[in-house]
Amino acid sequence: MAAILPPAMLGILGGGQLGRMFATAAKTMGYRVTVLDPDADAPAAAFADVHLCAPYNDQEALHMLASTCAAVTTEFENVNADAMRWLAGHTRVSPSGDAVAVAQNRILEKSWINKAGLPTAPFLALETVEDLHVDLSNYLPGIMKTARLGYDGKGQVRVSTPEEARSAYANLGGQACVLEKMLDLKLEVSAIVARTTNAQEACFPVAENRHENGILDVSIVPARIEPELAHRVQQMALQLANALDYVGVLAVEFFVLEDDSVVVNEIAPRPHNSGHYTIDACVTSQFEQQVRTMCGLLPGKTDLLSPVVMVNLLGDVWREDGGEPNWAVLCEAPNAKLHLYGKKAARPGRKMGHFTVLSAKVDDALEQAEALKDTL
């Protein structure tokens, strides 16, 4: 397929911060961007040439995308996979609706990861309450997770006993869930792959991720793990992308256990929060990779230019009266980069922005990043 070149129009379903950073990358390269998002204040709208302010399944808006965009992608997995399949009949779409459908349902996702030959935490698929009427001891203590629409630790309940598992299932509304065994984690890491239609692929350096209340807090790159382990993680991410015959940017989250064995946690069919460091610290960013793969260009080089630490800025760091954090020290730091997403309301747990700190030594970057966060 011929490459799509600037100034072609590129479309994206979703206009959150990932859409905004995608639009920035695309526009920097000279492409034009159309964003579909029902929110008039969508963070990506300010950076787009065209904002279709309509629901994701709006026929007119989808027709508009199909007729005006040379290629269409998505920034979140809870987009209607059927809308993506329909679009694929009219324009170039990546990733495929099928790949998105796998990532948006934890039951399909985990079964599919196992089918690709990779381990997950032991899990029990719960389609109905009847599925709980078995011996649960292999999955306890565990986490009840809704099969759909969970993110940033939402839709999850920690449970220790069969009774707690049953009431958690009921409290989540009796919808499809997975009961997943709680593992002893030594570390969480992620790897992000870019893959083209003719199976050309590139994998970014592995990020070491720290979470706070189920939400990503800090990514440390390079991850402070043995090169052999980092290589193994990257190979697993590539193996998943190949098994899905994936086109686009695929993020894979992993758990590293005490014995250095690795299990896959989940996948995201798009750039990922733990890959934001690539904007400031890699030859190619994960968002440029998204542009490149959807346009049929080769993936860009993924080399790390400097050790880097990324810190998420959640609404919690805003003042209670909504006043801005004290940005002065962070903005003055010559090796820090501030990224704000332009969201109006700062709510606790809401991702409002992030910053990175680059330094020759990753431990120095981490120490400085933590100190900078404390000044906010």
Residues near ligand ADP (CB under 6 A) are: 121, 143, 150-153, 180-183, 185, 188, 211, 214, 253, 265-266
Q: Whose Cβ is closer to ligand ADP: residue 10's or residue 143's?
A: 143
Q: Whose Cβ is closer to ligand ADP: residue 142's or residue 300's?
A: 142
Task: Concatenate the DSSP letters of all residues of 292-329 into one string.
Answer: HHHTTPPPPP--BSS-EEEEEEEGGGS-TTSPPP--HH
Q: Min. distance of Cβ 299 from ligand ADP in angstroms?
A: 25
What's the DSSP call for residue 182? P
Q: Min. distance of Cβ 22 from ligand ADP in angstroms?
A: 20
Q: Whose Cβ is closer to ligand ADP: residue 144's or residue 313's?
A: 144
Q: Whose Cβ is closer to ligand ADP: residue 73's or residue 273's?
A: 273
Q: Whose Cβ is closer to ligand ADP: residue 47's or residue 254's?
A: 254
Which phi and psi angles does 290 have, rounded to 5°? -65, -45
Q: Is 145 annotated as a binding residue?
A: yes
Q: Is 151 annotated as a binding residue?
A: yes
Q: Is 188 annotated as a binding residue?
A: yes
Q: Whose Cβ is closer to ligand ADP: residue 33's or residue 223's?
A: 223
Q: Min. distance of Cβ 357 from ligand ADP in angstroms?
A: 22
Q: Is 156 annotated as a binding residue?
A: yes
**Residues whose CB falls within 8 Å of the CB of residue 157, separated by 6 or more in sequence, listed in order:** 143, 144, 168, 171, 172
Q: Min. distance of Cβ 360 from ligand ADP in angstroms?
A: 29
Q: Is 183 annotated as a binding residue?
A: yes
Q: Whose Cβ is closer to ligand ADP: residue 265's or residue 284's?
A: 265
Q: Min. distance of Cβ 284 from ligand ADP in angstroms?
A: 25
CA distance 45 to 35: 7
What's the DSSP call for residue 284? S
Report the relative pairing of strands 336-340 and 351-358 from DSSP bridges: antiparallel
Instruction: Please give the structure tokens belonging to residue 153.
Output: 């630790």
Q: Is 180 annotated as a binding residue?
A: yes
Q: Residue 186, SS3?
A: strand
Q: Ramachandran region of residue 49, left (φ > 0), alpha (ψ -120 to 50) or beta?
A: alpha
CA distance 329 to 312: 16
Cβ-count burial 43-58 (b if 16+ within 10 Å, e if not): bbbebbebbbbeebeb
Q: Is 152 annotated as a binding residue?
A: yes
Q: Is 181 annotated as a binding residue?
A: yes
Neighbours of 320 (CB within 10 A): 6
Q: Min. distance of Cβ 5 from ligand ADP in angstroms?
A: 36
Q: Min. distance of Cβ 354 from ligand ADP in angstroms?
A: 16
Q: Is 265 annotated as a binding residue?
A: yes
Nearest to 16 by CA among 266, 218, 276: 276
CA distance 75 to 272: 9
Positions at the binding site? 106, 145, 150-156, 180-183, 188, 211, 265-266
Positions at the binding site for ATP? 106, 145, 150-156, 180-183, 188, 211, 265-266
